Amino acid sequence: MNLQQAQNKFKELNEKLRSYAYVGSIASFDMSTQAPAKGKAAAAKNLSLISAEAFSIRTGEEMKNTLEVLCENKDKLDEVTAKEVELLSEELEKSRKIPKELFREYREHISISGNVWQEAKEKSDFAMFAPYLEKTIDYKKQLAAITKPEMTILDAWLDDFEPETKTEELDAFFSVVREKTVPLLAKIQKEGKPVREDFVSRHYPKEIQRQVAHKLLEMFKFDLNAGLLAESAHPFATTITHGDVRLTTKFHEDNILAAIGSTIHEGGHGIYNQNAQLSPIVGNTGLAFGTSSAIHESQSRFCENMIGMSETFWQYFYPTLQEYFKEQLSDVSADEFHRALNVTKPSFIRIEADELTYNLHIMVRFEVEKLLAEGNVPINELPKIWNDKYTEYLGVTPPNDKLGILQDIHFSAGLFGYFPTYSLGNAYAAQMLHVMKKTVDIDATIKSRDLAPIVSWLNENVHKYGRLKKAKELIMDISGEPLNPKYLTDYLEQKFTKLYFL
């Protein structure tokens, strides 16, 4: 195979893989949003067969040979193709290290583990889940040792989701977060101005909430002709294909706040995906996606927290919301609404946590994962360890395993190392906000009711590069320094001090 042939073959294989990605994502989206109950078993089986087909194209001999030729000629490739080749080669090399039989065993185990977790969670019975978790830890350690023998177990797990992130960085990161957030939260609990919340749970019809959600997505420049908003139990954003990025949200008729935050959050993921697709640099290539979980989260959190839950935003958007809910919000001021949206309260459940306490939930999980990686703790002590950490950092003690260690799907799915990306996303967002403020007058932009300057900044600095720049490179290019948790803690301190003490 000469270079030209390899380039053609690479193009052909990528087109095929994009088609498989399309049908895979459309089927997954369908399963999460509307598939009827009785069809789900067959759908899941079909989808796993199709995924296996895609996997064998992605990791097969044809791809391997093609990538070899391209790697040998890397200097003759354009920047984007070179990066595509690099990322695919890395992935291929990693997956080739894993013995097929081990991987098959692991996948089967994970599928069973997921079912056991679900039942254990319902019964709030960690002991039932413990042996499966133990086995998962064992598999994940084996996989880490095989694929990344040069790293510690925890570094390898972290690297799976946020490449090149090290345990020591996260230790330093969370120590700053802990030092600043724990006392601030305690002070708010003790002395903060009370927040009015009676109106939150009035009746807010779903159909009107849906109109508000569409309005919000438009404000954040999500293109509804190149995507759509559906509903699902757990909100998410997903790229279906070029020109089609889908979001889901969840409407609670007895809670006006839930859908607002989740819609803007998924919208933030959505514009990252849409703009990457249209990028003059990476559009229409295998790089037209988010570069890492944390950077993706930074875009959703930026839109949700830094803009969508800011005081200025609600000064200007609240009258619009009041028009949709004339009756329900007639006796509520913009300030009251904004404060209710940002209320901070220690709680047991991560996915319902507010902006200030969220990182503490993640810190608990990171510390637990560290213990799992080090393996010095008997498995049956984990619930107590979990609960003790909640008591220490958040001041609340989960009364049972369901509200404690069994709440998240991640451990049951072997997703060790994923949790920290949520907090890293918050920190990246705060650091971007700090830089953005130097050239964009954020309050004036919101006041103008056209968020274009803000979204353009995100596009120019983040979205348009897709996967071309890795997270660490991106933040260095943007801010001239590596990730620094200070921006996050400063931002939170300022925001929550103003909310609760001014």
Tokens encoding 231: 């509903």
Q: CB neighbours of 103 closer than 8 A, spacing ≥ 6?
A: none
Please give the helix or strand (H or E) that residue 249 lies within, else none: strand 244-249
Q: Number of residues in contact with a second copy, rule: CB under 8 A?
A: 38
Residue 34, classed as helix, strand or coil, is: coil
Q: Is residue 4 close enough to count as binding a second copy by CB under 8 A?
A: no
Residue 482: burial class (beta carbons within 10 Å; 0-12, 13-18, 19+): exposed
Among 2, 4, 225, 439, binds a second copy (CB under 8 A): 225
- Let me know: does 304 contact 264? Beta carbons within 8 Å: yes
Among 2, 4, 37, 233, binds a second copy (CB under 8 A): 37
Q: How far is the CB of 8 from a second copy (least distance, A)?
A: 16
Part in contact with a second copy (CB under 8 A); list of ranges 11-19, 80-88, 294-302, 362-370: 11-19
Q: Is residue 215 close enough to count as binding a second copy by CB under 8 A?
A: no
The C-alpha atoms of residue 23 and residue 16 are separated, in whole angstroms, by 11
Residues 417-456 that bind a second copy (CB under 8 A): none
Q: CB neighbours of 352 closer than 8 A, spacing ≥ 6?
A: none
Among 224, 351, 409, 452, binds a second copy (CB under 8 A): 224
The count of other CB atoms within 10 Å of the CB of residue 32 is 18
Q: Is residue 502 close enough to count as binding a second copy by CB under 8 A?
A: no
Among 2, 41, 78, 330, binds a second copy (CB under 8 A): 41
What is the amino acid identity at position 492? Answer: L
Q: Is residue 369 close enough to count as binding a second copy by CB under 8 A?
A: no
Task: Quote the distance between the C-alpha of residue 323 and its chain's center.
Answer: 32
Q: Is residue 39 close enough to count as binding a second copy by CB under 8 A?
A: yes
Q: Is residue 76 close enough to count as binding a second copy by CB under 8 A?
A: no
Part in contact with a second copy (CB under 8 A); list of ranges 66-74, 234-242, 424-432, 466-474: 234-242
Q: Is residue 289 close enough to count as binding a second copy by CB under 8 A?
A: no
Q: How far is the CB of 242 from a second copy (least distance, A)?
A: 4
Does residue 266 carry a catalytic annotation? yes
Q: Is residue 242 close enough to count as binding a second copy by CB under 8 A?
A: yes
The count of other CB atoms within 10 Å of the CB of residue 437 is 11
Give start and end residues of each alpha helix (H) in 148-205.
153-161, 167-191
**C-alpha to C-alpha distances, 54 to 7, 89, 213, nearest whole angstrom:** 20, 16, 35
Q: Is residue 228 close enough to count as binding a second copy by CB under 8 A?
A: yes
Q: How far is the CB of 12 from a second copy (least distance, A)?
A: 10
Residue carrying structure tokens 């294989």: 13
Among 23, 87, 208, 435, binds a second copy (CB under 8 A): 23
Q: Which residues are catalytic?
A: 266
Residues near a second copy (CB under 8 A): 15-16, 18-20, 22-24, 26-27, 30, 34-43, 45-47, 49-50, 53, 223-228, 240-244
